[in-house]
Amino acid sequence: MASKNYWLMKSEPDEFSIEDLKKKTEELWIGVRNYQARNFMTKSMMIGDEVLFYHSNAKPSGIAGLAVVSGLAQVDPLQFDKKSEYFDKRATHEKPIWYCVKIKYKKTFPKIFSLEEIKKDKALSKMLVVKRGMRLSIQPVDKKDYEHILSVVGG
DNA sequence: GCCAACGTTGGC
DNA sequence: GCCAACGTTGGC
């Protein structure tokens, strides 16, 4: 069995926050329209992978809690929905373009681990999210960074 | 609201 | 296949 992977997934809390995930327990991560992020979901994400749930465009922006991948990549239905902002006219049911994994709520941090704090923490200087201009909405995370964050938040 | 950084599109 | 123009992301 392959070892677990760790991810950071961004969401704007106005759209879908960690509290929304908590209420619904599980949610399809629909609406990803970036090929790199899609490829992480279709090629690398496994059930049981750990997810840092990141609030972007928030006050403050930062890691709000934890989730777990609970469903492998499946066809994102919104690409066929003409009324959706995520509609993609190039997609067909025979040849879908976009996929989504399912994630399950795990934990809300007592306090947001803000981007500012991540930047200040030298142990986390390799994290992609602190890199200037890093807009990727799904990012791989090193196990040691994940564990470091947990130790700081839990401690 | 601004704007830097990046991804995508489309003319050639 | 290049690259300028355009659109989007996302911190501030």
Residues A67-90 have pLDDT tens digits of 999 999 999 999 999 888 899 988
Residue A34 CB closer than 7 angstroms to strand B? yes
Largest CA distance in chain A: 50
Q: Look up the pTM and report it.
A: 0.94
Protein residue nearest nucleotide B5, by CA to C1':
A133
